[in-house]
Amino acid sequence: MPRPVPPAPEVALNWSSDVARDFGEAALDLWAEFVERLPSDLPVVRDHELDQVRDAVCIDVPDEAMAWDDIFSHLRTVTLEESVYPGHPSFVAYISGAGTVPGAVADLIASGLNQNVGGWRLSPAATEIERHLAEWFAAKLGLPAGSSGYITTGGANVNLIGLTVARHVKAGWDVRADGLRGGPQLVVYTSSESHDTVDRATQILGLGSRGVRRIRVDDEYRMDVKALVEAIKQDLIRGHRPICVVGTAGTTGTGAIDPLDEIADVCKAHDLWFHVDAAYGGAAAMTDQLGHLFKGIERADTMGFDPHKWLYTPIAGACFLARDPRILREVFAVDASYIIEQGDVDGSGRNVGYMGPGFSRQFGALKIWVSLLAHGWKPYQDRIAHDVALAKYLEELAEYEPQLEVMTPQSLSITTFRFVPLDLAYREEASVYLDELNESILHSLESGGKVLPSNAVVRGSVAIRACVVNFRTEGDTMDLLVAETLRIGRLRDDEMRPESLR
């Protein structure tokens, strides 16, 4: 005889729809207040101190339910006091999209629905939306019909997935069965300017840092294709096995776009996998205004771009695309006896949990999808082009100011410049001091909380870098950045300049 069902706990976790609504409305009030105050009333960043942040937000998990007033007071502290705001108009740091308003709401629906987008049977609508979206992106990027992909967490993961596929296809032996034992050194080529996550991926994949060749760049920070060909030749002579070139469509530091078409030719000639890291530039590549800058991107075997960068959608969401998505199952699928692959027996859709490293997966496509539906593609294109125009405006402002030096010409929506006191402009011995001075300006800008750029290192020198992937940013932010750089630069120069340079 089965024993009787144990009594249910006194306090139930399953809130009724009325309670859900009340809790949700309180959260919505806070979020709407945040959206209202963000452009006007909140600083882009505060001078956060580690201990003070910990004291403010790390509370003990209670044994009994916390009072709602206390929860929302805590969430107010998190939201309105102890965070940095990529959606603030003055945020021009890193490459971190502003976060679309409809995307945030869609995230609530996605979490509420709680689909497991690893399996079609567990997430029919979610899987189909994700597939449809990925294929729409693939078509916009010029990939042929049949290309497809999915949403993953970020550009780092896209590079890891792309290089895993490259290793599988081009190693020349069964890496899944035999690992890397005994084979020649596999080699991946990428430019000196590409993102560090390419190295990270090759290290995770067991190629080691010796398996990456950082190819030098030309004056515009684009991969030097002659140097690429020479590096491949040298590796072949040494008995290594070249497997892949990673081209970058919009480098992190300066927004440079590698000569993708020429790299695709090299890949074809040497039978190499062509992976394109378009984490930043991919959204621009899809626009009528800027698409022509990315010739050759459509020849990628695998590629990815980050909607959470330049489609402004909330973190995290990157799109991984493969020219031949059938290969993904071959690379990633495992046979698990507890999974019934309905697709194989009844013709239902794909199980994305077999097409990449993730198994249970969230409905990360919805925030991107709803943002596109709510705004439409044309306003998106116009705004992306406007971000580029703002970067150009900043470049012109910096050119006009005698104490500012443009370090790299505006490319996509990135401009880099630095503060150089007039009398130090041509003094080589001032280079170390100029780095210190500009680092100090960057720190002061950050603690000042008025406008937030980030840094870049250009030809070995510290530069101030602004990147606009923010639909709230306008020209006044650029004016402010220039005015603050000049003001702080002059102050710091008075305080810091060593006797030897006076």
Ligand X SMILES: Cc1ncc(COP(=O)(O)O)c(C=O)c1O
Q: Taking the complex as a whole, how short is the minimal distance between the CB of residue 326 and ligand X, in angstroms?
A: 26
**The one segment of 272-280, 286-294, 325-333, 412-420 that binds ligand X by CB under 6 A:** 272-280
Binding ligand X by CB under 6 A: which of 164, 248, 287, 371?
248
Q: Quote the CA–CA distance of 460 and 477 in Å, as a whole number.
A: 27
Q: Quote the CA–CA distance of 479 and 261 in Å, as a whole number.
A: 37
Which tokens go with 85?
Answer: 């705001």
**The one segment of 1-9, 154-162, 260-268, 356-364 that binds ligand X by CB under 6 A:** 154-162
Q: Quote the CA–CA distance of 48 and 34 in Å, as a whole number.
A: 19
Report the DSSP pairing between strands 404-411 and 414-419: antiparallel
Binding ligand X by CB under 6 A: which of 130, 135, 306, 405?
306
- Please report whether residue 155 would count as binding ligand X according to CB under 6 A: yes
**The one segment of 276-284, 355-363, 378-386, 473-481 that binds ligand X by CB under 6 A:** 276-284
- Please report whether residue 279 would count as binding ligand X according to CB under 6 A: yes
Nearer Cβ to ligand X (42/468): 468
Q: Quote the CA–CA distance of 462 and 253 in Å, as a whole number.
A: 11
Q: Quote the CA–CA distance of 214 and 223 in Å, as a whole number.
A: 9
> Based on the number of CB atoms within 10 Å of its own CB, is 501 exposed (0-12), middle (13-18) or buried (19 or more)?
middle
Look up residue 122 and give its amino acid. Answer: L
Q: Taking the complex as a whole, how short is the minimal distance between the CB of residue 292 and ligand X, in angstroms?
A: 20
Size of the site for ligand X (CB under 6 A): 13
**CA angle, 62 as apex, 56 and 66 as ends, to 5°?**
80
Q: Taking the complex as a whole, how short is the minimal distance between the CB of residue 279 and ligand X, in angstroms?
A: 3
DSSP 59: P
**Residues of this chain, 82-141, that bind ligand X according to CB under 6 A:** 95
**CA angle, 169 as apex, 164 and 173 as ends, to 5°?**
105
Which tokens go with 259?
Answer: 């000569």
- Please report whether residue 190 would count as binding ligand X according to CB under 6 A: no
- Please report whether residue 197 would count as binding ligand X according to CB under 6 A: yes
Binding ligand X by CB under 6 A: which of 150, 189, 221, 280?
280
Nearer Cβ to ligand X (150/419): 150
Nearer Cβ to ligand X (256/406): 256
- Please report whether residue 318 would count as binding ligand X according to CB under 6 A: yes
Contact 484, 445 (CB under 8 A): yes
Q: What does the binding site for ligand X look like in residue numbers (CB under 6 A)?
A: 95, 154-156, 195, 197, 248, 252, 277, 279-280, 306, 318
